[in-house]
Chain A
Amino acid sequence: KNEVEQSPQNLTAQEGEFITINCSYSVGISALHWLQQHPGGGIVSLFMLSSGKKKHGRLIATINIQEKHSSLHITASHPRDSAVYICAVDSSGGSNYKLTFGKGTLLTVNP
């Protein structure tokens, strides 16, 4: 079993829909990252969080440390949000020595 599990693996939505991507992990962590990867490879860091909730524009990330679960929400989705969204956890004690990644969720937003 992977240390980091994401669901769903694939998600197709219509423009304007509210999107939720989930991440569950099995190890103790000091931080969790949500990353975005577009076709061609480049990865962009969206959020790093260790508790509570963060918001940036239409993106919201929440984490429940007790339940070992995090969610990434996208409000009013747009075709340009189409990408792979990856959850990664830092279980190295807070120094980001080593991130463990989920396999990613492929999001396609249709116009």
Chain B
Amino acid sequence: DAGVTQSPTHLIKTRGQQVTLRCSPKSGHDTVSWYQQALGQGPQFIFQYYEEEERQRGNFPDRFSGHQFPNYSSELNVNALLLGDSALYLCASSWQGYEQYFGPGTRLTVT
């Protein structure tokens, strides 16, 4: 079992650009949650996807959007990148929202 995987590992983008981050859940899991972790802070919940729909959303602007595919993998899209979007983006998967397993994260740097 590969566990939760994320790609890419690191990413550098310029202000105003758009970025797509990817997450493959642990085998048997159907729910994917995304978190943003700024340097020195705890993770902040962005949103959660279940059955290809956004089930719950944190306090993030509409520039942050997502998608879940029939195979339960998920994408996080961020439009019009700001310097403040630089962070570690974590994906966690679970079965129907129960105990979450985290991926290694994608480090996004916006210059």
Residues of A within 8 A of B (CB): 4, 33, 35, 40-45, 48, 86, 88, 92, 95-104
Contact = CB atoms under 8 A, between A and B. Distances in A.
Contacts of B99: 33, 45, 48, 96
B43 to A, nearest CB: 5
A92 B97 CA distance: 10
Nearest to B37: A41
Contacts, number: 64
A41 B45 contact: no
A71 B50 CA distance: 32
A35 B41 CA distance: 14
Interface of B: 33, 35, 37, 40-45, 48, 55-56, 58, 88, 90, 92, 94, 96-105, 107
Interface centre among A43, A99, A102 (most CB of B within 10 A): A43
Contacts of A96: 33, 94, 97-100
Given A43-B102, A98-B33, 9 more contacts: A40-B104, A41-B105, A45-B99, A95-B96, A96-B94, A97-B97, A99-B33, A99-B100, A103-B42
A96 B55 CA distance: 11
Nearest to A86: B42
Nearest to B100: A96
Contacts of B102: 35, 42-45
Contacts of A45: 99-102
Contact of B48 (A41, A98, A103): A98
B41 A98 contact: no
18 contacts: A33-B100, A42-B102, A42-B103, A43-B90, A43-B102, A45-B100, A45-B101, A45-B102, A48-B99, A92-B56, A96-B99, A96-B100, A97-B97, A98-B56, A99-B33, A99-B100, A101-B42, A102-B42
A42 B43 CA distance: 12
A98 B107 contact: no
B58 A98 contact: yes
Contacts of B88: 41
